[in-house]
Amino acid sequence: MTIINPKSIAGVTSITTASGADNLFTVHTNNTTERFRIDSTGTASFGGDVSIGGTVSVGGTITYEDVTNVDSVGLITARNGIEIGARPGVGASISVDGNAIFSGITTAATLKATTGIVTTLTATTGIVTSLIANTARATTGIVTTLTATTGIVTTFVTNTAKVGAAVTISESGLEATGVGITVANINGSHIGGRRNIIINGAMRIAQRAEDNIVTTNGYGSVDRFAVRSGSTDEAPSHNRQDGNDGAGGDNPFLIGLSKSLRIRNGNQTSGAQAGSYIFADYRFEAIQMRNCGWSYTSPSSFVTLSFYVKSGVAQTYYGHIKTADGTEMNYPFDIPVAAANTWYRIVKKIPGHANLQFDSSNDIGFRLTICPFMGTNFTGSTNAHEWSTYASGTRTPDQTSTWYTTNDATFLITGVQLEVGGQVTPFEHTSMTEEINECFRYYRLQSKSRASGRLGGSVNYVSMVSFPLSPPMRNTPTVAMYGSANYNSNVSSVATVNLAIDHVGFIANISDGNYYYYNNGWTADAEL
């Protein structure tokens, strides 16, 4: 070893070490402690802390031995990822594409992932407060294992999640095989009972006309749906349309809706007038809406209206909903028909409003109107999909008159559903018996009612017969004889008497005591 004692050396550009055992370079402090060494392989060793004011570039591997912390004020860039442990997956690793792999317990306040993330999530107490994933995929299925004890996962949000082999949860619904499922509610409302508040939304019941075409202004064809018109050159016709009237789009025939209400506009030679209108009209009892489960005064509570529509003319149509109790309110909505003769399913999510009111009465409380056309006397500057105070002159935004002025243009409606909740569900099919009994509350047709007898002697006599109404009607009906009079010469007249919501009565004046009979149909009308 050569010892150099000067305090400084200047002008040295190269130091060459000796051969053999002395082929190295060392620096010692005055107490002979070695502080720096470079051996023959180029390996540098430091006996104390190293402070570097500039950039350090390392071409090989940096090995940390017994390091407690790596303290970085700025960013650490690991171009090939970070590995903690002997190999990826043992301990933890972060790959260059952002995948994090942990073999032990991971503690996180929020764990948010997108695609290809979670195969096993194991937690103890108070570990994961939120797990959010668009798709949390495993090799087979979605999340293979989610293990927790007490108070672990407060929020688990995923578009698709698979629990074991039996239960799959997705945006389209819940599928379960061989397991029981307990549900607090469906769509924010009651589980049991009817979802659809509309009666005869499938257009199957048509007591007044069956499939005959009528021009009646009001109720005349399909039960519970009136067709109203005014200021027309030719009265529009309407009927229950049977069968799949064309295909395409959201064809309702494919889900069992084979009937529809068809409106035909006729020949309007004078064009669209300000007072002209043709629309379909459905009316709800106030108590029906009051008790349906809708928190109707809350803007965060909803009902969802859905129906199928097809028109011979492509254009944007409109409809509106109106309340009748308290401050009358109006909710317009658009009905876009992009292509002619193509079925479309229309869905409208309708919020509550502080001014909505439904009394405990069986009078009109809610009214749905679907409008092929309304003239300018009834339309104006109003916003669709917003509640506002009802005004007769601004029921809907202005409507184009193309459909109205196209001779014999058709407009078909079916699958009308109003349900509590903000999510639309498939149309609710019911039995014919249930549907006809619900229609009987408002209208019923009895085609034959026969009374007969024999009296002894010649005497003027009065005969009365009563027929029960089951189920009871909405209120005391208006009764009219149906068809032509059918009774023998001994009966001078037949009239209604003693009417009530649960029965109708008929009285006959009989001129003598011979055999008599009267045989007539009748209608009982308690429509809104």
Residues 50 and 419: their CA atoms lie apart, in Å, by 74
Show Cβ contacts of residue 84 under 8 Å, excluding neighbours closer than 6 positions. Answer: 91, 92, 93
Q: Which residues of the chain have pLDDT under 70?
A: 1-3, 64-69, 74, 85-90, 104-165, 171-173, 182-192, 244-248, 449-450, 454-459, 484-485, 512-514, 516-518
CB 259 within 8 A of CB 240: yes
Answer yes or no: do 158 and 289 share one domain. no
Residue 69, in any domain of the structure: no
User: Are 93 and 166 contained in the same domain?
Assistant: yes
What pLDDT score does 308 carry? 97
CB contact at 8 A, 204 and 222:
no
Q: Are 334 and 328 in contact (CB under 8 A)?
A: no
Under DSSP, is residue 490 helix (H, G, I), strand (E, B) or coil?
Answer: coil
At 265-319, the pLDDT tens digits run: 999 999 999 999 999 999 999 999 999 999 999 999 999 999 999 999 999 999 9
- Is the residue at 464 inside a domain? yes
Structure-block tokens of residue 20: 């053999």
- Is 361 among the domain residues? yes
353 and 234 together in one domain: yes
Say which CATH number the domain at 500 has: 2.60.40.2080
The predicted structure's pLDDT at residue 135: 47
- The pLDDT of residue 395: 98
Residue 447: inside a domain = yes
**CATH number of domain containing 256:** 2.60.120
Do 207 and 440 form a contact (C-beta atoms < 8 A)? no
Q: How far is CA 454 from CA 45, 457, 458, 520, in A?
A: 132, 10, 11, 19
Answer whether residue 60 is part of any domain.
no
* Helix, strand, or coil (residue 498): strand
Helix (H, G, I), strand (E, B) or coil at 20: helix
Same domain, yes or no: 421 and 450 = no
- Contact present, 24 and 39 (Cβ < 8 Å): yes
Of 417, 438, 459, the one marking the end of a domain is: 438
Looking at 438, 465, 484, the residue that finishes a domain is 438
Q: Domains in the chain: how many in total?
A: 4
- Whether residues 244 and 102 share a domain: the answer is no
Per-residue pLDDT, 88 = 55
* Cα separations in angstroms, 321 against 129, 292, 387, 423, 425: 43, 16, 9, 19, 20
pLDDT at 388: 98
Provide the residue count of the chain. 528
Q: How far is CA 10 from CA 13, 14, 224, 387, in A?
A: 9, 11, 109, 91
Based on the fold, state whether residues 404 and 417 are members of the same structural domain.
yes
Please check whether residues 432 and 460 belong to one and the same domain.
Answer: no
- Within a domain: 284: yes
286 shares its domain with 268: yes
Tokens of 81: 């990822």
**Residue 34, phi then psi, degrees to nearest 5:** -70, 125
Q: Which two tokens stand for residue 286?
A: 């106030």
What is residue 281's predicted lDDT score, i.e. its pLDDT?
Answer: 98
Residue 393's SS3 state is helix
In a domain, 77, yes or no: no
Do 321 and 273 have their domain in common? yes
Residues in a beta bridge with 234: none
State residue 42's pLDDT score. Answer: 79
Domain ends where: 393, 414, 438? 438
In a domain, 28, yes or no: yes
pLDDT for 346 equals: 98
Count of C-beta atoms within a 10 Å radius of residue 394: 19
Tell me which residue range forms the domain holding 9.
1-48
Q: Assess whether 266 and 407 both reside in one domain.
A: yes
